[in-house]
Amino acid sequence: MIPSIPQPKAGVRLYQAYVALFFIYLAAPLIVVGVFAFNDSLFPSMPWEGFTLDWFIGDSDPRLGIFNDGALMESLGYSAFVAVWVTILSLFVGTCNAFLFERTSFPGKNMLYVLALTPLVIPGVILGISILIFANSIVNNIEDAWGYEIEALRPSLVLVILGQFAFITTITTLVISARLRKFDISLEEAALNLGATKLEAVRTITIPFLKPALVGAGIICFLMSFENFNTTLMLTGSDSPLTITMFDRLKQGSTPALNAISLVLMIVSATLAFISIFVQRDKNGQ
């Protein structure tokens, strides 16, 4: 089953047909979402009623385009706000973790490493409810003790940021560690020999080396945060991020406006994904 072994032609054709069919299966849902964003009908379904841009720029009900839909644009803003904070926090902690696990040794390191990986095997909904419960306990205890209520720890954007940060940090830790492992430590030692302090050496030599991984991990964080649903669902308050707003609208009944916003999301994610693949590729071609 490799090119150097001759195979019956029919078998090869059948295999290729299967692969082709698979990629059609992979692309089909995305293509229909994109195409129906331009259908001149009140529902994203057959038949095709003609081409329209109303679902993007329409200015009145029932054909309110997404760019004129205040609530939708607001939730897009919330999503961006959350994603920026999650990216900053998890990049920072992820970088510290990478240095900790790759550069130092201390008793209990393996145990801490496994613990740092556990968010990967905690279902998102469970992570969400456990953080919800914990935040609620803190608020209640403080309120009982000092009579002061911390609003931010009620379901809100702050909790959404914390919840997403909780598991996305594992991803950044892995991505940055992988790059740090490839770093030739003698470069840093050379800098130390030339009179740099440890911190200067890390700042001028190691961090620039890590930059592709940092940019790549940052983009991954941003996208993961933007599209996260399970954890966000449990922690969101009245200001809901885009995925939750879209979900609520979808439950009420779908309009092609949802296709339009989905298409915008697809274009933005694909662009970011290409950039991340591009920056993470080494100059000498992997």
Partner 1 sequence: MTSSSKMAFKASTLLLMLPLLIWLVFLILLPHVDLLIVSLREKLGYRNYVFSLQNYTEFFTEPLYWNTFLRTAIMSIIATIITLIIGFPISYYIAKIAKGRLRALLFLACLLPFWVSELVRTFGWMILLRESGVISSFLQWTGIVSGPVEMLYNDASLMTGLVYTSMLFMIVPLVTVLDTLDDSMIEAGYDLGGNGFTILRDIVIPHAMPGIASGCIVVFMLTLGNYLTPTLLGGKDSLWFTEQIYNQFITRFNWESGSAFGFLLLILSSLIVWVGLKLSRQTLADTVK
Q: Which of residues 223-282 bind partner 1 (CB under 8 A)?
A: 223, 226-227, 229-230, 233-234, 243, 246-247, 250, 254, 258-259, 262, 265-266, 269-270, 272-273, 277
* CB nearer partner 1, residue 59 or residue 278: 278
Q: Give the whole-angstrom CA distance, residue 244 versus residue 72.
A: 10
* CB nearer partner 1, residue 60 or residue 114: 114
Q: How many CA atoms are closer than 13 Å to the CA of 123, on its beta-carbon side?
A: 5
3, 50, 62, 70: which one contacts partner 1 (CB under 8 A)?
3
* CB nearer partner 1, residue 133 or residue 150: 133
13, 17, 19, 149: which one contacts partner 1 (CB under 8 A)?
19
Scanning residues 84 to 123, which ones bind partner 1 (CB under 8 A)? 92-93, 96-97, 99-100, 104, 106, 112-123
* CB nearer partner 1, residue 59 or residue 77: 77
| Amino acid in position 210 | L
Hey, what are 193's tokens?
């020999």
Min dist. Cβ of residue 107 to partner 1 (A): 11
Output the CA–CA distances (angstroms, integers) from residue 81 to 65, 188, 226, 250, in the order listed: 23, 36, 10, 23
Binding segment toward partner 1, per CB under 8 A, in 11-19, 57-65, 69-77, 186-194: 11-19
Scanning residues 114 to 173, which ones bind partner 1 (CB under 8 A)? 114-127, 129-134, 137, 140, 162-163, 165-166, 169
Q: Give the whole-angstrom CA distance, residue 75 versus residue 69.
A: 10
Q: Give the whole-angstrom CA distance, residue 229 versus residue 164.
A: 10
Binding segment toward partner 1, per CB under 8 A, in 21-29, 53-61, 63-71, 206-214: 21-29
Contacts of 204 (CB under 8 A, 6+ apart): 191, 196
5, 10, 145, 194: which one contacts partner 1 (CB under 8 A)?
5
Q: Give the whole-angstrom CA distance, residue 30 versus residue 51.
A: 18
Contacts of 9 (CB under 8 A, 6+ apart): none
CB 174 within 8 A of CB 120: no
Scanning residues 26 to 65, which ones bind partner 1 (CB under 8 A)? 26-33, 36, 43-47
Scanning residues 195 to 224, which ones bind partner 1 (CB under 8 A)? 223
Distance of CA 137 to the CA centre of its chain: 28
Nearest to 177 by CA among 102, 277, 92: 102
